[in-house]
Amino acid sequence: MYIPTALSYDDVLLVPKKSDIKSRHDVETGTKLTRNISLKIPLVSANMDTVTENEMAIALALEGGIGIIHRFCDIAKQASEVRKVKRKQNIIISKPFTISASATLGEFKEKSADLGCSSFLVSDNGLDLLGIITRRDVVFCSDDNTSLKAIMTPKEKLIVGPIDISTSEAQKLLRENKIEKLPLVDSNFQIKGLITEKDIMRNSNNNQASKDSSGRLLVGAAVGVRGDYLERAVALTEAGVDVLVLDIAHGHSSNALEAIKIIKRALPQMEVIGGNIATAQGALDLIEAGVDGVKVGIGPGSICTTRLTTGFGVPQLSAILNVAPVCQKYGVPLIADGGIKQSADLVKALAAGADTVMMGGQLSGTTESPGLAINYKGRQYKISRGMASLTAALSRPDSKEKHHQITPEGIEARVPYRGPVKDVISRYLGGLKSGMSYGNARTISDLRDCQFIRITNSGMRESDSHDNEVL
């Protein structure tokens, strides 16, 4: 039996080329996530419950990448996380939050805390604008039983705009009237949207961010392949999600292929990423099922034990090399999921044919990852767990298995607290840009013209710092 050799990132290096790139700032890191979604940077945060909820997704999108909200919660919770990202910044909020004029100050405070919103349009039926209630209206009122009707700004005193108002006209109205929020209404004074000064400023100051056509931040969310996955997909679509990611360890399966077909039939405009796979045939079958992106990686993650548990998997560099020709032939972007330990691995993944890289472990200890930092022996940590670990499997909303029926394919671990995710992203992008300059690659696709060489264990040791006493 012929047994081919398969390679991981540590088994290879890229050969430097003559470069006419004068500065690493001259390179372009834009790329495609799916057929119709572009990103400014090739980084995607993993759909793990210790990695991506709204804070991580917002941070990634602001830097030019995208976060994928995990599905280890009920449908309403996941949809709420998506809405929080989509509402973080808008040119026009198409469905602004409303509250009844008969509600009390106490109810306002409760709703404000629940939705993370400090002001509401006032409407008894969600359509007719009666007024607006802001933090400025309630700051000097201490009686929680006070009716909002008594303290709100009534519609007679409101400054409003038409639905087709331009951004510059809206900004002029806001500034001339020294207000922060401009309700948009029709001729019947029915609510059609909301523009805020804060959102206008955010959009003008962060051209690097990943945004949709309405200026909202991009966000993805995960769905399974059994149970309520279609109901979940519909709810996430209604919440404004930009892309759905199939969350299944073995994506080259009949369950996954059938789920993709059903989702695409029900939601033909929705971008869908399928996976995880590690072979060319797996990619071809996913593409024929209708995916808009292919996720590659069986077992390379830092807290994944699939290969040790099942004996199956393909080292990540070879997996990308297997799949990339198929993805390139059909114009379907490739997401390399897992195995990234340092920025060099990011460069190698992209040079091998990936369009983006999904990271979990390297982002799990950051400020924006879910969970509180814990102290252990004088150092701060956060908890990270694989989505096929025992605790994760038991916490699935649709889990029906008992403890003894689960065979884990991941672990739960402490990871060092790393601070703001922006700092982690900056380190990886710095390494990527430097790597591109070594390969004379002005774009990510140019990296694919670089040559790989295999190295020995001695070469691996030589690549790291050596013969020194580390300070």
Q: Residues with catalytic annotation?
A: 304
Alpha-carbon distance 245 to 270, whole Å? 11
Neighbours of 95 (CB within 10 A): 14
Neighbours of 260 (CB within 10 A): 25
Are the C-beta atoms of residues 244 and 259 closer than 8 Å to each other?
no
Neighbours of 162 (CB within 10 A): 13
Q: Read out DSSP for 206-254?
A: -TTS-B-TTSPBP-EEEE-SSTTHHHHHHHHHHHT-SEEEE--S--SSH
Alpha-carbon distance 437 to 183, whole Å? 48
Q: What is the DSSP-derived secondary structure letter of residue 300? A: -
Helices 54-63 and 75-86, packing angle to 10 deg: 30
Question: In Å, how far are 97, 155, 251, 389 from 123, measured between CA atoms?
Answer: 10, 10, 47, 47
Residues in CB range of 432: below 8 A, 6 or more apart:
29, 42, 343, 346, 347, 350
Q: Are strands 120-122 and 131-133 parallel, antiparallel or unpaired?
A: antiparallel
